[in-house]
Structure 1
Amino acid sequence: MRVRAMDIAIVGGGAAAVGLLDALAGRTGRTGAINVFEPSAQLWRGRPYGPDLDAVRVNAPPANMSIRAGDSGHYSAWLGTRSTEYVDELLGEPLIPRALYGDYLAHTAEKAVASLAEQGRQVRVVAARVTGIDRAGGRPVLRTDGAHGQEYEVGQVALCLGGGVPQDLYGLAGQPDFIADPYPLAAALDHVPPESDVTVIGSGLTAVDVVVSLAARGHQGRITLVSRGGVLPFVRQRANGRRPRHVTTERVAQLHQAQGRLTLDDLISLLRTELAEAGEDFDTLTAELLGAGGAADPVRRLREQLAAVDDPHIGRRVLQQTAHTVGPCAWPLLGASDQGRLRRHLRTAVGLASPMVPMNASVLMRLLDSGQLTFASGLRAIERTGGRGFRVRDDDGVRTASLVVNA
């Protein structure tokens, strides 16, 4: 059966969909129905922002997490005085539980849907998974799954799919004592024995969430973060109120218009100017970043970065901020060779653009100092043993784990 007369189809009902609905609600004078396709029960919250442990926090302060374009205070205004309950003392800003951020997303979506209805634009949620998109006479046609799957002919399609679940790189799906997806952590970790040896695959923000959540639940067993590169995210620094003056979307657009192209060297030149104006050196910054991208001594690096939360140097702050503002503008303007140069440092770039918060870094540091948490790099394989548990092969040889969490 084919359904017609739909203006927009939004595939996915998480945070990106909320941002789109909020923007559409602010653009009056338009017509047409909107369908949101989302099979999950966690409508508007996406995979990370459903009900969970209070220890699982959003990895950025409220000013960085507004869902409304052009209004960085939208989320803070919604929080009101509740934000004072969750201040990270090292950062000097509130870090809100993911579940509470999910409440904000749901509230914003519901207000957008009501506003669109007042404008004569109905928003319908279809609890089905989209399995394909075809063309019919120039218009997209969406197919949904299930015994009663339907086709939907639409004017426009917006893909709001999120980051997806962790890949099963070692073929462990379905094995006992293997947690394929750690979110929500409250449910995923509920049956982890407190004395068990836990291996966490990965060393990014999701892996940090797993470790912090285990600690919050009083886990007593050994925890090992094991990955191919052994690189932790950077630690977020306290905001200093300074906004970039040279590494901006306006300057990137001007360079592109004047030259007809944009190069990585152009962006480096802007950053050099930004740093020089603050009395800092580009080469010193890059040496620090490239050193942090190696696998040697992540414990020492974590300790140094925790000590540098209040460091006055602006370099990392500029890169962190502009990765999210200038990055989406600059990336498609770069040539393939320059994009390739940046991709070679992808892990460092991701860890810098999306750093862990100091409160989580402090938990990791405490567990490392006590010996309960260890790192291993050069991950090659994880295999099920003949009995219970797993064999983990990495640069340090072979270790065992009673339980593996995929992060």
Structure 2
Amino acid sequence: MEIALVGAGAAAVGLLDALATTSLARVRPGLITVFEPSPHLWRGRPYGPDLDTVLVNAPPAIMSIRHGDPGHYAAWLGESGAAHLDDLLGQPLVPRHRYGDYLAATAEAALRTLRANGWRTRIARARVTGVERRGDRLAVVAADGGRYAADQVALCVGGGEPRDLYSLAAAPGYVHEPYPLARTLAPIPADARVAVLGSGLTAVDVVVSLAARGHTGPITMLSRSGLLPHVWQRPSGHRPAHVTAERVATAHREHGTVPLGHLIGLLRAELAEAGEDFDAFAADLLAAGTEDPVRRLRRQLRSVGDPRIGRRVLQETAHTVGPYAWRLLPESGRARLRRHFRLATSVASPMVPVNAATLLRLLDAGRLTLVPDVRAVEATGGGFAVTAGDSAIHVDAVVNAVNPPPQAVPRAAGELVASLVSGGLAAFHPAGGVVPADPRVQVAGDLAGGGPFITSGIPGIAAQAARTADAMLTLARDESSEAPATLR
């Protein structure tokens, strides 16, 4: 049995951990090969070396890469987390490169467990350009021409790249890919007028990091919506009893589909059981599009300790139950949710209080400005001209913080995906991403087609990795049981 994992980011770590902690009975040990050309194994794009101001954007219970074990990351962090405590959140928030250490430690532990169970493992520092059928097996093709036999292949290649919405790629002073911020922010003069494209979590990272580096010039966050991420609230320990995958599965069995109204009903029941008003909660969410964003930010910072569970439940289940429920929704329900894309992203991917407090301090001091309704950004030869509404702004530098679209194919994986599709091993999903067309191929992470429009967080990646491991081991067991006795 030979398994190939293409990519060595968070999805690959979750998959290796799930394979190592799942019973391997009746599966003859073989070889697992992980293909990754990057020097930063197991970290992917988000968790490589960077500034200490680039923080993990969620409490530890949300960041476990082991599905079903929310304490896994916190246990690894141990007492060292006390040095990174967010006083408002009451939880440790470490730099993202430190979380990368956790992913690396988890991957290495999984590899040791697999080897202890008789599996051989190897890391191939090669970029994969294709997968081909070779009789009843597969061949993984590397950019250097090497070919590696495999019985199963899992794509763990991460997400796509940021979009260049205003065609600025060749303009001096424009930063297209912001990470690592330690490298990309260094050339920007401290007194430069800086525009940050976007107002989501990446934009927050850029602004907070500029401030931490001693930037004194004005900073402008540009976006079409002007909507900031919501702010995390202090974890309450509440575990959803109604908005669960089991309740969604029951509805699907009974009705053959899961209308959006049914999911709303589950959330309504969750809040009612806690004595909370669903209608008031929904009205507050929808007001985000019209309420002054600075006023809303100030109000949310004051309510970090609010005991009400509404937003907490929505934030947790958006990444755990959401991907499963999305696939069962009728298209009318999906279309309705897509109309609230910016709001959904803002709620599902909140910012941590320590960053929210920094933003508010900069806003109050006049060093940061939020500008909505951006229509154009043009290079002028001596900077950039920004058109927003009826006003014009001139800046010296532009940092792109527009997030990649969900289910986008990474540029480095384009040739590989094209090979899988042309060979009939995978197919493009109509809504984006890639779906397997052969049971020997799996897709884990944000590239998996058919998922929601919200970029996968760690809980979703961990859940998907566990499902992928189950599918791979089930196929391996089925093939083992069908093999002649002499081959077992």
TM-score range relative to shorter protein:
over 0.9
1:326 equivalent in structure 2: 321
Say whether the 8 Å CA contact 1:234–1:356 is kept in structure 2: yes
How does 1:33-52 map onto structure 2 within 5 Å? 33-52=31-50
Structure 2 gap segments, 5+ residues each: 402-488
Classify the secondary structure of the residue corresponding to 1:380.
strand
**Partner letter of residue 326 of structure 2?**
W
What is the rounded CA distance, in whole Å, between the counterparts of 1:295 and 1:201 in structure 2?
20
Distance 1:295 1:377 in 2: 12
Who is 1:25 aligned against? Answer: 20
CA deviation vs aligned residue, 1:246-286 (integer Å, no higher than 9, x gap)? 11111111121122221111111111111122222222111
Q: For each residue in 1:143-165, what CA deviation from the matched residue of structure 2 results, as whole angstroms up to 9, or x when unmatched?
A: 332xx233444222222122233
| Cα separation, 2, equivalents of 1:153 and 1:170 | 43
The alpha-carbon distance between structure 1 residues 401 and 132, as it changes in their structure 2 partners (threshold 3 A), is: farther
Question: Which segment drifts farther, 362-371 or 337-346?
Answer: 337-346
Q: Does 1:69 align with 2:67?
A: yes
Q: Report the number of matched residues.
A: 398
Residue 184 of structure 1: which of 164, 180, 196 is its match?
180
- What is the identity, as a one-letter code, of the residue corresponding to 2:59? P
Q: Secondary structure at the match of 2:94?
A: coil
Q: Is the 8 A contact 1:61 1:96 kept in 2?
A: no
The one of 235, 243, 248 aligned to 1:247: 243
Shift of 1:100: 0.8
Distance 1:173 1:379 in 2: 18
| Gaps in structure 1 of 5+ consecutive residues | 1-5
Change beyond 3 A, Cα 1:132–1:337: farther
Deviation at 1:25, TM superposition (A): 1.4
Residue type of the alignment partner of 2:32: I
Q: Which residue of 1 aligns with 2:293?
A: 298
How far, CA to CA, are the matches of 2:75 and 2:280 in structure 1?
39
For residues 4-23 of structure 1, the aligned pairs below 5 Å read 7-23=2-18
CA contact (8 A) 1:182 1:405 kept: yes
Whether the 8 Å CA contact 1:231–1:295 is kept in 2: the answer is: no
Give the match for residue 154 of structure 2: 158
Which letter maps to 1:193? P
Structure with more relative contact order (C-alpha pairs < 8 Å, separation 6 or more): 2
Find the counterpart in structure 2 of residue 338 from structure 1.
333
Please state whether the residue corresponding to 2:2 is helix, strand or coil.
strand
Deviation of 1:397 (Å): 2.4
1:6-405 matched pairs, under 5 angstroms: 7-27=2-22, 28-29=24-25, 30=27, 31-137=29-135, 139-145=137-143, 148-292=144-288, 294=289, 297-385=292-380, 387-405=381-399
Residue 411 (structure 2) aligns with: none
CA separation in 1, counterparts of 2:79 and 2:281? 38
Q: Distance in 1 between matches of 2:325 and 2:117?
A: 36
Which ranges of 4 or more aligned residues in structure 1 deviate by more than 6 Å? none
The answer as to whether partners of 1:275 and 1:282 remain within 8 angstroms in 2 is yes
**Which SS does the other structure have where 1:238 is aligned?**
coil
Secondary structure of the corresponding residue to residue 217 of structure 2: coil
CA shift digits 1:330-380 (9 cap, x unpaired): 111111111111111122111111110010000000000001100111222
1:35/1:126 contact within 8 Å kept: yes
Question: TM-score with structure 1 length normalisation?
Answer: 0.93
Q: Is the 8 A contact 1:295 1:377 kept in 2?
A: no
Report the alpha carbon displacement of residue 137 of structure 1 after superposing the two structures with TM: 4.2
Aligned to 1:3: none
Aligned counterparts of 2:135 and 2:285: Cα–Cα separation in 1? 51
User: Bigger shift: 232-241 or 251-260?
Assistant: 251-260
Q: Is the 8 A contact 1:225 1:376 kept in 2?
A: yes
TM-aligned CA deviation for residue 44 of structure 1:
0.6
Quote the Cα distance in structure 2 between the aligned partners of 1:266 and 1:64: 25
Q: Please tell me the root mean square deviation across aligned C-alpha atoms, in Å.
A: 1.7
Q: What's the % identity of the aligned pairs? A: 60
- The farther-off stretch of 282-291 and 79-88 is 282-291
TM-score (normalised: structure 2) = 0.78
* Structure 1 letter corresponding to 2:254: A
After superposition, what is the alpha-carbon deviation per residue over 1:148-205, rounded to whole angstroms, capped at 9, x for unaligned? 2334442222221222331222222232211111111111112221101111111110
Q: Could you tell me how far 1:296 is from its partner in structure 2?
A: 5.0
